[in-house]
């Protein structure tokens, strides 16, 4: 349970450090959190009894005014439980977003063709690697076409590539796979959105 809160918002990182140092040295308070609210604005939140919070915020304002700019300040004595929950929720550290990795794509080696001109049969040249349409199909083979078609059909106005990637992270959606579906006349691309052909 929070006894009292002292809030101070300043402009600039160095100003925030100086204000936080002054607040913590001047009274028996605990710095709950400091966080950036707007580019260049930093909010400091301390907890303690109401007199300590007032003294700490006063000291922080004085230190910040010498170095930079004070945006706002506030002391809240014995906050209501709803306000306390709101403040704790806002001040809780945000969980780090983990990136979901896609399964590794298995690539098949390209076909090696030895091409020699008839006049230079005696000379040994290096083999030439040719890319084929088969390679493009192999790249698109890792995607789940039926899941893509079902998701696009369910969306009234179609889906963009980003929306498909968000909706189907495990389907292996690639731009090439969508282009192949468009070439096969199973999808249509209209203004950046992939739509089901009727």
Strand-pair partners of 47: 5, 30
Any domain includes 96: no
Any domain includes 103: no
Any domain includes 115: no
**12 and 86 assigned to the same domain:** yes
**75 and 136 assigned to the same domain:** no
Q: How far is CA 34 from CA 20, 37, 86, 94, in A?
A: 9, 9, 16, 13
Any domain includes 163: yes
Q: Containing domain of residue 158, as a range?
A: 131-196
What's the CATH number where 82 sits?
A: 3.30.70.1710
Any domain includes 24: yes
Query: Rounded mean pLDDT of 149-175?
Result: 82
Helix (H) / strand (E) containing 59: helix 50-67
**84 and 8 assigned to the same domain:** yes
Q: What 3-state class would DSSP assign to 12?
A: coil
Strand-pair partners of 189: 194
What's the CATH number where 143 sits?
A: 1.10.10
Q: How far is CA 19 from CA 61, 72, 185, in A?
A: 7, 13, 64
**11 and 78 assigned to the same domain:** yes
What is the number of domains present in the chain? 2
Q: pLDDT tens across 54-110, in order?
A: 999 999 999 999 988 899 999 988 888 888 788 777 766 666 666 666 666 666 666
Any domain includes 179: yes
Q: pLDDT tens across 122-160, in order?
A: 444 545 444 444 444 544 456 788 888 888 888 887 888
pTM of this prediction exceeds 0.85: no
């Amino acid at each position: 349970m929070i006894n009292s809160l002292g809030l101070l918002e300043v402009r600039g990182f160095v100003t925030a450090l100086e204000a936080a140092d002054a607040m913590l040295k001047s009274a028996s308070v605990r710095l709950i959190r400091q966080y950036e609210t707007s580019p260049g604005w930093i909010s400091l939140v301390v907890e303690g009894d109401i007199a300590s919070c007032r003294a700490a915020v006063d000291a922080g304002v004085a230190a910040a005014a010498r170095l930079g700019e004070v945006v706002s300040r506030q002391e809240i004595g014995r906050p209501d439980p709803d306000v306390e929950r709101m403040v704790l929720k806002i001040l809780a550290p945000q969980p780090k977003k983990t990136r979901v990795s896609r399964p590794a794509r298995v690539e098949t080696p390209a076909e090696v063709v030895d091409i020699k001109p008839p006049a230079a049969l005696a000379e040994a040249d290096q083999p030439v690697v040719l890319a084929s349409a088969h390679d493009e199909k192999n790249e698109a083979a890792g995607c789940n076409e039926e899941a893509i078609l079902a998701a696009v059909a369910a969306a009234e106005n179609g889906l963009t590539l980003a929306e498909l990637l968000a909706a189907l992270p495990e389907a292996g959606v690639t731009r090439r796979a969508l282009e192949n579906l468009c070439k096969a006349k199973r999808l249509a691309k209209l203004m950046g959105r992939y739509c089901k052909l009727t």
